[in-house]
Amino acid sequence: MSLEPQELSYLKSKIGREPSSTELQIVAAEWSEHCSYKSSKKHLKMLPMTGPLVISEKGYDSGVLDVGGGYVITAHIESHNHPSAIEPYGGAATGVGGVIRDILSAGTRPIAIFDGLRFGNIEKDKHARWLFKNAVSGIADYGNCLGIPTIGGEVEFDDCYSNYALVDVAALGFGKKENLIKNHANKGDLLILMGGPTGRDGIGGSQFASDLLESEDRSAVQIPDPFIEKLIIEAILEARNHKLINALKDLGGGGLSCAVSETADSLGIGIEMDVEKVHTKEKGMNPEEIMISESQERMLVITNKQKLKKLQVICKKYNIICSVIGRVTSGNKMHVKKGKKTFADISTEIVANAKLLDRPSKIPTYLKNIQKEKKIATIPNISKTLMKLFSSPNIASKIWIYSQFDHEVGIRTVIKPGQDASVLRLDNGKFLSAKIDGNPKHCFINPREGAIGCFEEACRNVICTGAKPIGMLDHLQFGNPQDPEIFWTFLETLKGLTDFANYFQIPCIGGKVSLYNETSKGPIKPTPLIGVLGLIEKNPQISQKVEPGDCLVIIGTTKNELGGSEYYEYIHKFIGGNCPKVDFSESKKNMKTVLELINKKYLKVVHDCAKGGLAIAASEICMTNQIGCNISLDKVPHKTQEPERVLFSESHSRYLLVLKQKNLSKVKSIMKKNKVSFGVIGKFSGKKIQFNKEKKSLADVSVDKAEKIWLNSLREMVLVG
Amino acid sequence: MKVGVIVFPGSNCDRDMFHVLRDVFHFDTQYFWHEKGLPKNIDAVILPGGFSYGDRLRAGAIAAHSPIIHDIQKISEKGIPVLGVCNGFQILVESGLLPGVLLKNNSLNFMCKWTSLIVKNNETPFTSQLKINQKIPIPIANGEGRYYVDEDTLKSLKKNNQIVFKYAEVVNGSTDKIAGVCNENGNVVGMMPHPERAVESEINPIDNKPSSKIFESLLNNMGVYQ
């Protein structure tokens, strides 16, 4: 936990003297990869970050979108991987807490949580099961207590996360544009630390997160207290209503060091503070510990003397400690004292801006042959394979997880978890749709196309609810960036996302980079996680009950793209092959067509084709509606021959539509007009899911049996093993 | 005529309940912070859901000692309607205003799902517009929602018609599938499911009319007990 030798000499040359030990600790925290983005910052600028709806303000930790009628949405994404890998309950819980405070920092009320979780093979590995179960409990206990609904997410299991965990949390906020906190500060303003006491928990957490996970440094994991966080949310929003806050910043990675230096740097002010004024959990903490502690549930507030009294009254009401720890000065230095003695006096511009790196990159050798196809033995019994896939932890229903999250509180949840994307109603009469998606199996085989695929999948999911994508969040998770091969996969991912964002004009409104995600067996697969927000002006696409006689239509072409598919990896244990690639113009055409059909109210159900391919997507419609369907592969537009490939390919840009027979001709004429490839592939009736080709039955399974396995297997795996 | 929504530190369904009372059913609605007293002219009081004091000790145990509980007890003795939902129910039980206890669910997990209630008593101020055995689609969201009473108490609950709602299915292991009870007088009602989450068609995927009757019953009974 210290600076690299070249960073130390850079620091010395900048300040022209030896740094004090407190200064060293402050700088080491702030220059950690986690806080400074020193490896990634130069490259992240390639992503488009502006757009007609994007509002940019100084010093925000979350992205802001104008959704009309005087209202804004705020959004942010964070991860808590290292802590969750050691202590999954506390790590996941504090991950929720941190991203919620980022939303709060803009002066908006948090209204939704999403979580993206990744673990090792829970079927075989008890430790992975333990991590999974406790991370879910941590998120549930924290989010439920706050009264913020967890309305969506995704979970994936892969051997590359053995003995490790990725816990990503995204949060959304909502508020009036006029209530946004416009960060500003004047000389003489007061620096206030609000919330829980500062302790020795989470010491050096950000540096710990910027290192390889070789030792279990439990003291670097923070301790969660959602009750205090809830009180802070209410106190801050009440103070915001009374205009008592000039500037606001969450204390996250790097603790006070980071919050103070970044606030001062972004506002162009100096700050003088006294660590003796900081309320602590225990006596005898030294200035360094106080400056880099990452104790949770703390906010930094800048206000003035006139407003202080009112702020103290609010804090007293909620029983929240608020300490005046310093003041705003002219100049640009952070001056840290203990009583009268100075411990650090250093330019915030230096502290807040680590020297950015140009890491070398090189195409990984493993990629050379990975896209080669392997001759896959034909499977004798596709029905059996289908049943096996329903029980795969990556495909099985996630109801065991989301039923532990209060997804109704706040009474906004129009489309609930378990569907393509969740939808919230807003106070301006519009609806917000949101989804997060990742796919490390694809990303490993082709980092660029895999990342684009995650982005497109998240778009498809919000499109399925009738929403137009308006913003994107990216969370880029990789191994050690000092390895040029890993850094290459990071750059490829970023380039892919940038191309897609530019083509579809979806601005990136927030993101996070998490590096050094390695286990004893090596780096994780490239794991970008993409969140997409969509806006619905009037009517969300709410699924209607599927009835006998309804038609099943597919939009989009099925290609020979099974690389990274659940079929190759779960059934055939083969990692490799053609990774699905998004054809941008086909993608755009299909999105537009689906939205047009939704707006014309022709569709009963719209479902995205993703993991497990057409076979799984069609079965999911059958299972959730408890109705059978007879599906003919002859009508599926495809560029591959073997029936297994048509059934299980994970090609992008595909949608399944369910409609009444009487709407079919109108729907067909719109699809023809828009020149999309489509097929009317099935008819619903009875209680069996049947796939046929040239009148020959390929698979025939009972809806009830399939549903039972699909609904229960994840819970059974966790509880029984 | 005024309805009070009581806010404890950690309440988190207070704003939802307030919205439903004021914007959907047009009650004159006011928040009351747990340290405040209640005015004399209050016509009904609702304790909303949430995690008062972070569920420390036991759900509702600390809030049951809030200063406002004393006032709630006084008005309840006068026959004024009091409703506790979820954590509000737990607080009423912990403060002794309602019988029984609420234990951890059988699954040992927090559970959020839609279920159905069956009306068993339509003589309370919150159920008078409902029919006996009428079904109400409604969501639950709790970790400590398993209602428990011993056999003798169950007998007396039945005898005094104190079982207000039952679940239509086995949800969490509650004694006799009980989801909501009232005091002997019938004016204090507690229930684990969330009626405020079920009264607007936009967010209720099944049917919002039955749960709306809970609030319509109160509207009909406003001022009757003053």
Query: With an 8 Å Cβ cutoff, is B203 touching chain A?
Result: yes
- As a whole number of angstroms, the distance between CA B47 and CA B41 comes to 18
Q: Is A407 a catalytic residue?
A: no
Name the fold adopted by A5-351: Phosphoribosyl-aminoimidazole Synthetase; Chain A, domain 2 (3.90.650)
- As a whole number of angstroms, the distance between CA A416 and CA A487 comes to 38
Query: Closest approach of chain B CAs to the CA of A147, in angstroms?
Result: 5
| Structure confidence at residue A414 (pLDDT) | 98
- According to DSSP, the residues that pair with A631 across neighbouring strands are A682, A691
Sign of the alpha-carbon torsion through B207, B210, B215, B219: positive
Q: Who's near A474: CB < 8 A, 6+ residues apart?
A: A47, A77, A497, A508, A511, A512, A528, A529, A530, A531
Give A-chain residues touching B143 at CB under 8 angstroms: 144
Question: Which one is catalytic: B86, B94, B144, B182?
Answer: B86
What beta strand segments (E) does A426-583 contain?
Answer: 431-438, 468-477, 508-514, 518-519, 522-523, 527-536, 551-555
Residue from A366, A343, A412 nearest A27 by CA:
A343
Give B-chain residues touching A398 at CB under 8 angstroms: none
Mean pLDDT in order along chain B per 10 residues (226 residues): 94 98 97 94 96 95 96 96 98 98 95 98 97 98 98 97 98 97 98 98 96 96 68
Q: Flag if A414 and B202 touch (Cβ within 8 Å).
A: yes
* Segments making up each domain of chain A, as ranges: 5-351, 360-396+543-721
Portion 136-175 of A in contact with B at CB < 8 A: 137, 140-141, 144-147
Query: With an 8 Å Cβ cutoff, is B16 touching chain A?
Result: yes
Q: Tell me: the pLDDT tens digits for A351-398?
A: 999 999 999 999 999 999 998 988 888 888 999 999 999 999 999 999
Q: Flag if B141 and A408 touch (Cβ within 8 Å).
A: yes
Mean pLDDT along residues A548-568: 97
- Give burial (CB, 10 Å; 0-12/13-18/19+) of A336: buried
> Residue A94: phi, psi to the nearest 5?
-70, -25
Name the pLDDT band for A221 (thresholds 50, 70, 90): low
pLDDT over 90 for what percent of chain A? 89
CATH tag, A360-396+543-721: 3.90.650.10
Mean pLDDT along residues A628-633: 97
Mean pLDDT along residues A244-269: 94
Residue B183, domain extent: 2-225
Query: Closest approach of chain B CAs to the CA of A131, in angstroms?
Result: 16
Query: Closest approach of chain A CAs to the CA of B70, in angstroms?
Result: 20
User: Which of A146, A402, A408 has the CB atom closest to B197's CB atom?
Assistant: A408
Domain count, chain B: 1
User: Which of A225, A317, A409 has the CB atom closest to B12's CB atom?
Assistant: A409
User: Which of A145, A405, A425 has the CB atom closest to B51's CB atom?
Assistant: A145
Give A-chain residues touching B194 at CB under 8 angstroms: 408
Name the pLDDT band for A220 (thresholds 50, 70, 90): low
Q: Note whether ipTM > 0.90 here.
A: yes
Q: Flag if B13 and A414 touch (Cβ within 8 Å).
A: no
Question: Which one is catalytic: B13, B94, B182, B194?
Answer: B194
- Contact pairs from chain A to chain B, CB under 8 Å: 81
| Structure confidence at residue A209 (pLDDT) | 64
Nearest-10 Cα torsion for A304, A308, A309, A312 = 170
**Closest A-chain CA to B52:** A227
| Structure confidence at residue A201 (pLDDT) | 78
| Structure confidence at residue A57 (pLDDT) | 79
Query: Closest approach of chain B CAs to the CA of A401, in angstroms?
Result: 10
Other beta carbons within 10 angstroms of residue A279's beta carbon come to: 15
Q: Which helix (H) or strand (E) holds A22?
A: helix A21-30
Mean pLDDT along residues A105-111: 97
Mean pLDDT along residues A53-80: 92
User: Which of A146, A231, A409 has the CB atom closest to B141's CB atom?
Assistant: A409
Tell me the two tokens of residue B128. 């008078």
Q: Tell me: the pLDDT tens digits for A482-534?
A: 999 999 999 999 999 999 999 999 999 999 999 999 988 999 999 999 999 99
- Give burial (CB, 10 Å; 0-12/13-18/19+) of A367: middle
Q: Flag if A407 and B112 touch (Cβ within 8 Å).
A: yes
Query: With an 8 Å Cβ cutoff, is A1 touching chain B?
Result: no
**Closest B-chain CA to A427:** B19
Average pLDDT, chain A: 94
CATH number for the domain spanning B110: value is 3.40.50.880
Taking a C-beta distance cutoff of 8 angstroms, is the pair A504, A459 a contact? yes
Query: With an 8 Å Cβ cutoff, is B36 touching chain A?
Result: no
Query: With an 8 Å Cβ cutoff, is B103 touching chain A?
Result: no
Q: Is A279 a catalytic residue?
A: no
Query: Closest approach of chain B CAs to the CA of A196, in angstroms?
Result: 14
Tell me the two tokens of residue A222. 């923070």
| Structure confidence at residue A218 (pLDDT) | 52
More confident residue, A707 or A204: A707
Query: Closest approach of chain B CAs to the CA of A205, in angstroms?
Result: 26
Mean pLDDT along residues A526-543: 97
Query: Closest approach of chain A CAs to the CA of B196, in angstroms?
Result: 8
User: Which of A230, A404, A414 has the CB atom closest to B110's CB atom?
Assistant: A404
User: Which of B12, B49, B200 has the CB atom closest to A146's CB atom?
Assistant: B12
Query: With an 8 Å Cβ cutoff, is B176 touching chain A?
Result: no
Name the pLDDT band for A61 (thresholds 50, 70, 90): confident
Give B-chain residues touching A144 at CB under 8 angstroms: 51, 110, 141, 143
User: What does each C-alpha distance from A484 to A185, A267, A358, A369, A459 come to in angstroms?
Assistant: 42, 36, 11, 19, 31
> Residue A605: phi, psi to the nearest 5?
-140, 140
Query: With an 8 Å Cβ cutoff, is B144 touching chain A?
Result: no
Name the pLDDT band for A223 (thresholds 50, 70, 90): confident
Name the pLDDT band for A560 (thresholds 50, 70, 90): very high
Query: Closest approach of chain A CAs to the CA of B73, in angstroms?
Result: 23
Q: Flag if B10 and A230 touch (Cβ within 8 Å).
A: yes
Give B-chain residues touching A405 at CB under 8 angstroms: 110, 112
Tell me the two tokens of residue A600. 């014309």
- According to DSSP, the residues that pair with A630 across neighbouring strands are A683, A690
From first CA to last CA, the distance across chain B in angstroms is: 10
Q: Who's near A284: CB < 8 A, 6+ residues apart?
A: none
Q: Who's near A483: CB < 8 A, 6+ residues apart?
A: A523
Strands A605-608 and A527-536, by their bridges, are: unpaired
Query: With an 8 Å Cβ cutoff, is A225 touching chain B?
Result: yes
User: Which of B16, B53, B55 has the CB atom closest to A411's CB atom?
Assistant: B16
Give the three-state DSSP class for A616.
helix
User: Which of B13, B49, B51 has the CB atom closest to A227's CB atom?
Assistant: B51
pTM reported for the whole predicted model = 0.95
- As a whole number of angstroms, the distance between CA A622 and CA A251 comes to 47
Q: Flag if A144 and B197 touch (Cβ within 8 Å).
A: no
User: What does each C-alpha distance from A604 to A6, A363, A599 come to in angstroms?
Assistant: 62, 46, 12
Q: Tell me: the pLDDT tens digits for B126-173?
A: 999 999 999 999 999 999 999 999 999 999 999 999 999 999 999 999
Question: Which one is catalytic: A34, A43, A407, A475?
Answer: A34
- As a whole number of angstroms, the distance between CA B154 and CA A716 comes to 34
Query: With an 8 Å Cβ cutoff, is A416 touching chain B?
Result: yes
| Structure confidence at residue A206 (pLDDT) | 64
Q: Is B194 a catalytic residue?
A: yes
Portion 41-60 of B in contact with A at CB < 8 A: 49-51, 53-56
